[in-house]
Amino acid sequence: MESVVKRRGDAPEGFFEAEAAGLAWLRAAGGVGTVAVVAVSPGRIELERVDRASPDAGAARAFGASLARTHAAGARAFGARPDGWDGPLFIGRRPLPAAHDRTWGAFYARDRVLPYVAIAEDIGNTTTAEAALVRQAADVIAAGVFDDDEKPARIHGDLWNGNVLWSSDGVVLIDPAAHGGHRETDLAMLALFGCPFLDDVLAAYDRASPLRAGWRERVPLHQLHPLAVHAAGHGRGYGVALAEAAERVLELAAGSRE
């Protein structure tokens, strides 16, 4: 068996162990495949190598249906860690706050948007006015305007195209920031950074687990998190995109009150 080893000499405590716990939790859902962990220790993780294949519509439909099963496996709460893991969470190299909230909006605003907006403003990737706009949107979200009756989903949490590997056995996920969240957040991240045959993925997902009306209009809402994370370290362009998404969220909230 061929494997891939990732090392990080400055890894914070629990860094790769959190990755392994997230992969195991997602795999236990019986939905999308995840890369197998061969071994994990402080500063090091060894993963089974994934044989790559070209994506196609059939594999995309299978991915959408299996992602719905993963989400449906659920989580203990919004912001909850993977079952059996009590350590820290990360998204990329940044800490990801854990929580145990019963409502989504308060958790999402507090722990998935605002921490990264503060960093982005400090380093100049968002202007003061843009940051204020995002905070205004966060206040609306925290107030529960977008809360619904959806239960916490078992989400990957960092579901951009680079973490979706296409193999001869179907999609295999890597590098999760797994936690209890809203399922639309995973789908919005796929849309933000592109995914081959995305329309097929989404159609198959919706057939397997129908999405609530208006989910397409809520995409900017669920993109606030990945945009905030990227604005915190990947350039000014993400700060602009974050403010634009916040503006659309405020427009959507205003429309819901009419």
**Residue 193 binned pLDDT confidence (cut-offs 50, 70, 90):** confident
User: Is residue 200 annotated as part of the catalytic site, yes or no?
Assistant: no
**What domains can be seen in the chain, in order of their start residue?**
52-257 (3.90.1200.10)
Confidence check: pLDDT of 258 > 60? no
**Closest Cα partner for 179 from 17, 16, 21?**
21
Provide CB contacts within 8 A for 77, sequence distance 6+: 99, 100, 101, 102, 152, 180
**What pLDDT is stored for residue 9 in this prediction?**
87
Q: Global pTM?
A: 0.94
pLDDT tens for residues 79-98?
999 999 999 999 999 999 99
Higher per-residue pLDDT: 4 or 222 = 222
The token duo for 251 is 């427009």
Report DSSP state, residue 102: S
For the chain, percent of residues with pLDDT exceeding 90:
93
| Residue 150 near residue 77 (C-beta atoms within 8 A) | no
Per-residue confidence (pLDDT) for residue 1, from 0 to 100: 65
Q: What span, in angstroms and rounded, lies between the C-alpha atoms of 61 and 200?
A: 5
pLDDT tens readout for residues 127-156: 999 999 999 999 999 999 999 999 999 999
* CB-based contact 20:40 (threshold 8 Å): yes
Q: Are 123 and 232 in contact (CB under 8 A)?
A: yes
**CA–CA separation, 91 and 96 (whole Å):** 6
Look up residue 18 and give its two tokens.
Answer: 């959190």
pLDDT at 50 over 60: yes
Distance (Å, rounded) from C-alpha 80 to C-alpha 235?
Answer: 29
> According to the model, what pLDDT value does residue 171 have?
96
pLDDT tens-place string over residues 224-250: 999 999 999 888 999 999 999 999 999
Is the CB of residue 72 less than 8 Å from the CB of residue 59?
A: no
Element (H, E) at 39: strand 37-41
For 150, 169, 181, 219, 245, the CA distances from 50, given in Å and listed in that order, are 33, 10, 27, 30, 35
- Decide: residue 107, CB within 10 A, 0-12 exposed, 13-18 middle, 19+ buried: buried
Beta bridge partners of 78: 101
SS3 191: helix
Going by C-alpha positions, the residue among 89, 78, 91, 186 that lies closest to residue 141 is 78
Low-confidence winner among 144-148, 156-160, 221-225, 252-256 (lowest mean pLDDT): 252-256
Output the CA torsion sign for 234, 237, 242, 245. negative
**What region does 28 belong to: left with phi over 0, alpha with psi -120 to 50, or beta?**
alpha
Given the residues 51, 101, 158, 200, select the one marked as catalytic: 158
CA distance 45 to 140: 40
